[in-house]
């Protein structure tokens, strides 16, 4: 009887160990990779970067710190207003607002209330000048803060629009940032991200070049150039309604052609475009516009497939 018990227990132990080994071996395949890998600079490092360099950005870019732009940058801001559907009466969060160039422009055109967050105290200080220089219809309030903490700073369901204008890619927690934006949007509110996204590898050789240039951008600018597929996955996980994904629509003759950015690279000594010949584009500029459903998706299922449900 004792032998019988010992043999049974030994067998059970053996089977259990085998089972565990099997599960451990299977784990990588069964465990989904995180949608967006946490990497990139911490907000404090990004803040220190802008505290050090904002005067250089101002010299080259002026008060709108965006690489994809028009020769007359107001044309681009007009385009942004229409593309992000900014209207009178809205409460807007400009997440990563720089020195308030875009926010003060929007508020000079519209009766809106804009909250701006930048992680750089130097930019907050400088934004006072930017705001004072304009006659505003609406209001602009800019403060130092980490946009990853927007929920703690503002609370849930506060905004009609949350816009990221070439600021999203500074995030080291991009999936979490999208979740925070979802929480802070009112039902029916829109998240609008305009940024650079890592280009898909067309082939191995160009892929290696793309990765090398993107690494250079990330290092030079404390950036974490977003992966489009991962971002879309994070957005869809939350059941955002997809309104549009597109390359910004500016007229060829209005496009600034990244000339300013090219000048700027001189200051940072990275990836200057010397000639288009053999040049491999490392990134794409996209606008991603999505809406938090204005209805309870668990209850009003008849509205689920609609783009603009009423």
Ligand X SMILES: C[S@@+](CC[C@H](N)C(=O)[O-])C[C@H]1O[C@@H](n2cnc3c(N)ncnc32)[C@H](O)[C@@H]1O
Site residues (vs ligand X, CB under 6 A): 43, 46, 50, 64-66, 96-98, 101-102, 117-120, 123, 146-148, 165-167, 170
Rounded least distance, CB 171 to ligand X, Å: 6
Rounded least distance, CB 177 to ligand X, Å: 8
Number of alpha carbons in the 13 Å side-chain half-sphere of residue 189: 21
CA distance 55 to 120: 12
CA distances from 91 to 113, 119, 187, 240, 297 (A): 5, 20, 13, 19, 24
Task: Report whether 150 contacts 118 (CB < 8 A).
Answer: no
Rounded least distance, CB 93 to ligand X, Å: 10
What is the distance in angstroms between the CA of the first residue and the CA of the last residue of the chain? 74
Rounded least distance, CB 34 to ligand X, Å: 19
Helices 259-268 and 43-61, packing angle to 10 deg = 120
Nearer to ligand X, 255 or 295 (CB): 255
CA distance 138 to 110: 6
Among 213, 219, 153, 145, which Cα is nearest to 183's? 153
CA distance 180 to 95: 11
Rounded least distance, CB 139 to ligand X, Å: 18
Nearer to ligand X, 96 or 189 (CB): 96
CA distance 36 to 45: 20
Nearer to ligand X, 165 or 291 (CB): 165
Rounded least distance, CB 170 to ligand X, Å: 3
Rounded least distance, CB 201 to ligand X, Å: 25
Nearer to ligand X, 147 or 197 (CB): 147
The CA-CA-CA angle for residues 149, 157, 227, to 5°, reads 55
Q: Which residues contact 164 (CB under 8 A, 6 or more apart)?
A: 95, 96, 147, 192, 193, 194, 195
Which burial class, exposed, middle or buried, applies to 168 when counting CB atoms under 10 A from its CB (0-12, 13-18, 19+)?
A: buried
Rounded least distance, CB 156 to ligand X, Å: 18
3-state DSSP assignment of residue 48: helix
């Amino acid at each position: 009887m004792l032998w019988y018990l010992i043999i049974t227990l030994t067998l059970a132990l053996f089977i259990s160990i085998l089972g565990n080994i099997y599960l451990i071996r299977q784990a990588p395949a069964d465990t989904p990779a995180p949608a967006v890998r946490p990497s990139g600079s911490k907000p404090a490092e990004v803040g220190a970067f802008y505290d050090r360099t904002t005067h250089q950005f101002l010299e080259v870019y002026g008060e709108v710190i965006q690489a994809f732009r028009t020769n007359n940058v107001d044309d681009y801001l007009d385009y942004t207003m229409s593309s992000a559907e900014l209207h009178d009466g809205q409460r807007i969060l400009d997440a990563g607002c720089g020195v308030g160039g875009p926010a003060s422009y929007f508020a000079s055109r519209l009766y809106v209330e804009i909250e701006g967050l930048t992680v750089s105290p130097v930019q907050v200080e400088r934004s006072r000048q930017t705001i004072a220089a304009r006659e505003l219809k609406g209001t602009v309030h800019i403060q130092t803060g980490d946009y990853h903490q927007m929920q703690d700073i503002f609370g849930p369901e506060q905004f009609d629009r949350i816009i990221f204008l070439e600021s999203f890619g500074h995030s080291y927690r991009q999936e979490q940032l999208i979740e925070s934006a979802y929480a802070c949007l009112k039902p029916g509110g829109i998240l609008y991200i305009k940024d650079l996204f890592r280009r898909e590898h067309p082939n191995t050789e160009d892929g290696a070049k793309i990765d090398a240039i993107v690494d250079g951008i990330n290092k030079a600018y404390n950036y974490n150039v977003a992966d489009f597929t991962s971002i879309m996955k994070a957005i869809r996980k939350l059941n955002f309604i997809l309104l549009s994904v597109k390359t910004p629509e500016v007229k060829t003759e209005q496009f600034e052609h990244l000339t300013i950015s090219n000048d700027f690279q001189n200051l940072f000594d990275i990836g200057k475009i010397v000639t288009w010949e053999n040049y491999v584009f490392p990134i794409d500029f996209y606008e991603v516009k999505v809406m938090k459903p204005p209805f309870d998706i668990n209850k009003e299922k008849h509205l689920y497939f609609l783009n603009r449900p009423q």
